[in-house]
Structure 1
Amino acid sequence: MTVARALSRTISGDLRIGGGRGGVGFCGRNFCFAAFILAVVILTVLVSIYQPADPLLRPPAAASQLTSFLASTSNATFLPDGSVLRTGEDFLNSSSSAAAPFIGISDVNSSSSNGAAVVPACDPAAPIDCGDPELFHLLMRAAIEALPDLHFYRFGKPVAVAGDPGSCDIDWRFRPKDAVQPMLYKDFRRFHLSRSPNCAVSVSKIEAFHSGVGARKKADEAANATEFVVGEPLEDSLPAVISEAAFAAGRYLVYAGGGDRCKSMNHYLWSFLCALGEAQFLNRTLVMNMDLCLSSMYTGRGQDEEGKDFRFYFDFERLKKSASVIEQGHFWTEWGKRHKLDGLKLYYVDDFKVTPMSLVGINDSLIMRQFSEVEPDNYWYRVCEGKTESAIQRPWHLLWKSRRLMDIVSAITSRMNWDFDSVHLVRGEKAKNTEIWPNLAADTSLEKLLVTLKDKVEEGRQLYIATREPDTSSFEPLKEAYSTYFLDDFKDLWDENSEWYLESKELNNGVPVEFDGYMRIEVDTEVFLRGEKQLETFNDLTSDCRHGVHTC
């Protein structure tokens, strides 16, 4: 009561400037009380509606700011510099998956000694039986001992090699022991075997990554798998309409037109995931255009390139199994056949300010958003701005990088035995701009780089250098201290004899696919992120700020 009375006296008292009886009156008791109540109400309202901006998840207030950010032509390689946006696998929590039990030497049965399998009935002339359980255990032990930086999670049964009775192919699923991301990888290798005079079998040689092609699953076997594993054959064909009845009963959402085409891949993803998020919010199937336009910032010719398939860059098998999507070619073919016969109705929206919340009650078969305004008011992501932000969540977890590209990443890291350090070098136009990055050129020069690396990376280590420098010959002196590797040292993984080339060509109706700039960035980024020590330009190599002077 003491506090209440004191407050009452303060509010109702005759406040004066200068104090004392001779002071000048500041306000009457009714006016002060009303002002106090009004101030409390205003403050309460402001606190309840204020939401601080999250620079990572919330778009800037002005469309021009977001456009500038997403369409950045930065010469840097990774996300902090605006070039590669993280996808679903980058946001997964690896703790639970990494803690899963893996197969160790102690888990493999051993009734033999000295790394050899004992054969009960000795016949030196007989071919080696790849189906022998004891031989299976021998191959598992040999793989675990030969690849100590991996954790093994499942082994497939050994397979005999046609025309080579002294070899067996075997596959396994694995994860690097220090993996940050919880994805599983698939390898299949050929094991060459030798037999001693007493018929004990031992492993004489293990061939390289993906050499045991006899143990690789066929595409139809992989199609029924519930897990998505890097290295397994993909079943990412375009989903066809199941039946006419199912099509007629469906509810669809399509985005048409707009100025998002041929923009940066970050811009495309920001808009595409807005559309997918709205489709999920409305419980509708998203009609997808699988044909992308690759921005000139990723092409060697400096021109935008049409005709790029979504599946070149992203995991469509995972997407179509996790979300309701249909390819627009199939959709419009069926729509042309069925919409009049079945009385399917179209609801047309031509203003991005029409919110998804206002469309919840629409029962028409198809909602079409038409984006016909001028930029930036015709960008798809404008639908998800403003008050829609709190309702539509972009489903980042559904969009993963192409497993064909991730297989190249796995092959590169396997050739380095998953035991390497990595450094990311940003130079290019940034190094030339000394007003914004005054120290970058000097700090990333070969002389300074040798000194910096000496303090941070142990001499003799394998060192992967992720950079967009067109000429890597200037880094030759680094080989005196390290075993250095660049992306182009592994270009056989995407040349005309590679698995990636043949599979991409088949996907592209027999037309060869270029290993373009965005693919290079994706692979370079992912290999860098698998280094044991990762040195970033603006964190570890230079005192300059990432975005220029006075931005640290």
Structure 2
Amino acid sequence: MRTAIEKFSDLHFYRFGRPVAVPGSPMECDLAWRFRPSEDTNGRTTYYKDYRRFTLTRDVDTCTLVVSNVGEYHSGTGAKRSGRRKGKKGKKGKREAPVTDFVPAKTQMRLDENAANADSTAASEPVLVIGEAVNDNLPVVESESDFSRGKYLIYMGGGERCKSMNHYVWGFLCALGEAQYLNRTLVMDLNVCLNSRYTATGKDENRDFRLYFDFEHLKQSASVIDQSQFWTDWGKWHKKDRLKNHYTEDIKVTPMQLRDVKDTLIMRKFGDVEPDNYWSRICEGETEAVIKRPWYLLWKSRRLMEIVSAISSRMDWDFDSVHVVRGEKAQNTQLWPNLDRDTSPDSLLATLNDKVGAGRHLYIATNEPDKSFFDPMKSKYRTHFLDDFKDLWDENSEWYTETKELSNGNAVEFDGYMRVAVDTEVFLRGKRKLETFNDLTHDCKNGVNTCPASS
């Protein structure tokens, strides 16, 4: 533990697990810990988990054991909690053992304070832990009586399918907000249509909601049920228990007007005419002041965030980042007359000169397809790109194995939306972050004459 604390000076440690012996190797052990980066400013209580293999040797002079080597990120597989966590909703997993007293007194005091602060914070707000086993099994209604006593809301049809992911999220959170307002369980379709802009085939494709979002957090924090499971239960019990369905196709029917509906199921059916069939229309007008979209319920998939954690760990959580937008915008000189020049390697080096020290790890989040374009920057910085870490999602990775299991044995593409999500999250963890349209160029993000007026 002392070695870990000294080696990773940019991390704040909160919990250590018990050391685990490595079978057949008496001078090695695996150890897990929970930590936060020293400059984690994402606005959410987020902890990360790592487990590494430690190699020990005996000092010939003092005859004491010393650590001679610390393995790479997640190398201590013996300390990993195996399999998906199981248990009922809200049940807490086993906590790691607290630190022991061989850590130096000053360090022990800092760890104790961190752990106390972590516990008090966790009691007041949701906590995201990256590195724990994920339990995203579908929630199941355990009995007929539980199902029949429940109240449900479902959105059917609509223009959200196959649009951008932002469009989908905007509509989905409206549905979730209405369900909460009505004190009903949201019946949700876990099949998300991924727009062709994100897929390798260039065609719209169905994907699992859990590939992109933290379903475990959602089902623990809100009342949701999978659509297919719901219709199976409805088919078994609705006639027997005389369950009623309140049906409406009119988007002008507000959640406030549905507040007193007693029927088991409220079904909103959306037509084919866009934009009047967007789910988000329900939250417009007078409803906007009543229903607030519950953004805090929708977190990125922890499997994607695990990749973010791994990339950051390989740079020792001590790196700077720059977001470089090029692509079609750099080619369109009518709307972005300076962007191509301002994002050239020479201009980037000049801009970064007084902001990022030479020799620093520099993560470059970019849509530039030819990464050799940035080769001149290697003379001053240790540059990194998303594809430098593709072993984290290739066929030998944990991500590949777990997502394949989630998809009934079908391999999952690390698609364009996942790439953008991971690229953005790594960028945000840089100690110094430089944005294209705030720091690299005076061009406006949306083209000429669209910059917000200065205050």
Same fold (TM over 0.5): yes
What are the Cα deviations for residues 314-368 of structure 1, in whole angstroms up to 9, with x where unaligned? 0000000000000001000000111101100000010110000000110000000
- 1:313 aligned partner, one-letter code: Y
State the distance in 2 between where 1:296 and 1:462 align: 34
State the distance in 2 between where 1:220 and 1:395 align: 27
State the distance in 1 between where 2:182 and 2:272 align: 24
Matching of residue 215 in structure 1 with residue 117 in structure 2 = no
Q: 1:174 aligns with which of 16, 28, 35?
A: 35
Retained in 2: the 8 A contact 1:222–1:234? no
Q: 1:242 aligns with which of 114, 123, 142?
A: 142
Partner of 1:190: 53
State the distance in 2 between where 1:327 and 1:449 align: 48
Partner of 2:172: 272
- Equivalent residue of 2:368, what SS? coil
Q: CA deviation at 1:451?
A: 1.6
Retained in 2: the 8 A contact 1:258–1:379? yes
Partner of 2:2: 141
Q: 1:293 aligns with which of 186, 190, 193?
A: 193
Q: CA deviation at 1:447?
A: 2.1
Map 1:146-545 to 2 at 5 A.
Answer: 146-181=7-42, 182-197=45-60, 199-219=63-83, 221=85, 224-225=91-92, 228-306=128-206, 308-545=207-444
Retained in 2: the 8 A contact 1:222–1:233? no
State the distance in 2 between where 1:373 and 1:293 align: 17
- 2:450 aligned partner, one-letter code: T
Q: CA deviation at 1:391?
A: 0.9
State the distance in 1 between where 2:380 and 2:368 align: 21
Retained in 2: the 8 A contact 1:222–1:232? no
Partner of 1:51: none
What are the Cα deviations for residues 357-388 of structure 1, in whole angstroms up to 9, with x where unaligned? 00011000000000014011111110010000
- 2:72 aligned partner, one-letter code: A
Q: CA deviation at 1:496?
A: 0.4
- 1:419 aligned partner, one-letter code: D
State the distance in 2 between where 1:295 and 1:187 align: 34
State the distance in 2 between where 1:264 and 1:355 align: 26
What are the Cα deviations for residues 216-244 of structure 1, in whole angstroms up to 9, with x where unaligned? 11345575436541000001011112111
Retained in 2: the 8 A contact 1:250–1:365? yes
Partner of 1:4: none
Q: CA RMSD in A?
A: 1.2
Retained in 1: the 8 A contact 2:85–2:135? no
State the distance in 1 between where 2:448 and 2:303 align: 39
State the distance in 2 between where 1:474 and 1:165 align: 49
State the distance in 1 between where 2:362 and 2:128 align: 30
State the distance in 1 between where 2:354 and 2:59 align: 49
- Equivalent residue of 1:302, what SS? coil
- Equivalent residue of 1:488, what SS? helix
Q: Which moved more, 1:541-550 or 1:282-291?
A: 541-550
Partner of 1:117: none
Partner of 2:103: none
Give the TM-score of the pair, scaled to structure 1.
Answer: 0.73
Q: Please, which runs of 5 or more residues in structure 1 have no aligned partner?
A: 1-139
- 1:501 aligned partner, one-letter code: Y
Q: CA deviation at 1:392?
A: 0.8
What are the Cα deviations for residues 33-73 of structure 1, in whole angstroms up to 9, with x where unaligned? xxxxxxxxxxxxxxxxxxxxxxxxxxxxxxxxxxxxxxxxx
Identity, % of aligned positions? 64
- Equivalent residue of 1:229, what SS? strand
- 2:267 aligned partner, one-letter code: M
State the distance in 1 between where 2:359 and 2:59 align: 38
What are the Cα deviations for residues 136-187 of structure 1, in whole angstroms up to 9, with x where unaligned? xxxx101000100000000001011112111111100000011102300000
Answer with 1 or 2: which has the greater Rg.
1
Retained in 1: the 8 A contact 2:55–2:70? yes
Retained in 1: the 8 A contact 2:359–2:381? yes
Label 1:492 to 1:255 Cα distance change in 2 as closer, same or farther (>3 A).
same
Retained in 1: the 8 A contact 2:245–2:266? yes
Give the TM-score of the pair, scaled to structure 2.
Answer: 0.89
- 1:142 aligned partner, one-letter code: T
State the distance in 2 between where 1:511 and 1:222 align: 23
Q: CA deviation at 1:484?
A: 0.3
Retained in 2: the 8 A contact 1:282–1:360? yes
- Equivalent residue of 2:133, what SS? coil
- 2:398 aligned partner, one-letter code: E
- 2:426 aligned partner, one-letter code: V
Q: CA deviation at 1:521?
A: 0.4
- Equivalent residue of 2:56, what SS? strand
- Equivalent residue of 1:253, what SS? strand
Q: CA deviation at 1:260?
A: 0.9
State the distance in 2 between where 1:391 and 1:272 align: 17
- Equivalent residue of 1:500, what SS? helix
Label 1:284 to 1:414 Cα distance change in 2 as closer, same or farther (>3 A).
same
State the distance in 2 between where 1:162 and 1:235 align: 28
Label 1:539 to 1:222 Cα distance change in 2 as closer, same or farther (>3 A).
farther
- 2:48 aligned partner, one-letter code: Y
- 1:283 aligned partner, one-letter code: N
Retained in 2: the 8 A contact 1:248–1:338? yes
- 1:159 aligned partner, one-letter code: V
State the distance in 1 between where 2:282 and 2:335 align: 35
State the distance in 1 between where 2:367 and 2:68 align: 41
Partner of 1:135: none
- 1:544 aligned partner, one-letter code: D
State the distance in 2 between where 1:435 and 1:205 align: 56
